[in-house]
Amino acid sequence: MKDRQPLTRYAWLSIGAALLTMAIKASGYLVTQSVGLLSDALESGVNLAAAFTALVALRIGAQPPDEEHAYGHQKVEYLSSGAEGGLISLAAIAIIITALQRLLDPQAVQRLGIGLGLSSAASLVNLIVATILIRVGKRERSIALEADGHHLMSDVWTSAGVLAGVGLVWITGWQILDPIVALLVGGLLGRTGFLLLRRSAYGLIDTALPEQDLETIQRVLSRYENMGVNHHALRTRQAGARSFISLHVQVPGRWSVQKGHDLLEGIEADLRHAIPSATIFTHIEPIEDPRSFRDEDLDRDLSTDKHNKSGIEP
């Protein structure tokens, strides 16, 4: 795995964008007293907290494996994206409560031209940074950066909705449209928070690699099947940017240890070439031995082992 420490600079970019947009949107609220712009400013505050969380996760995830974390630290990125999803959900609740209060007690929105201009400027900043984070996150397989980018992109769409609401108030004079749009914004943020939480949960429960990667693995293994080499008990999982693949390879029992070892080295090299981020575990078995077919499940039935001692003298 290459050094991932440089990814932290993108988290600092997100922090800078959050500070800038929060200041712009807060100024817009102070000028206009628009609850829609207030909801937008609150969301930027969440962006700031999320960016700091992503920074910490990226720093931890970049640390090399150690004795206590032999498989690395990158799974911490799922905690980061989960925390981000929770923060978005809390912001959604706060926005909905504020919008309901303003709906029951409408207040005039003022100096809308300035407010629209400020919100547009903040949205442009978020759009640029979000595009960068999503592109880098996908390229480097960093869920923390990608989640932060999607968070900022949802803020762009949120701001677009707020701009539409404030613009409608400006055109129609109907003050009630401002809190109604804020309610819609809160609902959109709630959905974004839920999706991030779900994706983070999938990562923490060791979900298999994407279907595209699984098809790639099967294409590699099928080349060896044509040579008379079987496999089973194929398992995969993803932890941040790392992919883990394990499988059992079945060969004729008459093969020498060296020949079996050479085969596994070739399989692992081909799989690493096809899935560059993969850590691969292989286990060789004689295809004639019935016990070679009893370990397809994750937890092998130990009762079969008690009656099938190897008989090998120490």
Question: Is 9 a member of any domain?
Answer: yes
In the listed set 171, 204, 237, which residue is the last one of a domain according to the structure? 204
* Predicted local confidence at residue 37, as pLDDT: 66
Question: Is 311 a member of any domain?
Answer: no
- Note whether 40 and 157 are within 8 A (CB): no
Digits of tens for pLDDT over the chain (314 positions)?
555 677 888 888 888 888 888 888 777 777 766 666 676 677 677 778 778 888 888 888 777 777 777 777 777 878 877 887 787 788 778 778 877 877 777 665 555 566 667 777 888 888 999 899 989 888 877 878 887 887 788 778 777 766 776 677 767 777 677 677 778 877 877 887 888 788 788 777 777 888 889 999 999 998 888 777 888 889 998 876 678 999 999 998 889 999 999 999 999 999 999 988 788 999 999 988 888 777 766 665 555 555 555 444 44
CA angle 249/254/256 to nearest 5° reads 75
* Predicted local confidence at residue 150, as pLDDT: 78
Q: Do residues 47 and 179 both lie within one domain?
A: yes
In the listed set 184, 204, 224, which residue is the last one of a domain according to the structure? 204
Q: Do residues 64 and 107 both lie within one domain?
A: yes
Provide the residue range defining the domain that includes 97.
Answer: 5-204
* Predicted local confidence at residue 248, as pLDDT: 93
* Predicted local confidence at residue 314, as pLDDT: 44
* Predicted local confidence at residue 47, as pLDDT: 77
Question: Is 308 a member of any domain?
Answer: no
Question: Is 197 a member of any domain?
Answer: yes
Cα separation, 297 vs 141, whole angstroms: 29
Residue 29 identity: Y
Question: Is 224 a member of any domain?
Answer: yes
* Predicted local confidence at residue 313, as pLDDT: 47
Q: Do residues 156 and 14 both lie within one domain?
A: yes
Provide the CATH number for the domain around residue 262: 3.30.70.1350
In the listed set 189, 204, 219, which residue is the last one of a domain according to the structure? 204
Structural domains in the chain (count): 2
Q: Do residues 59 and 173 both lie within one domain?
A: yes
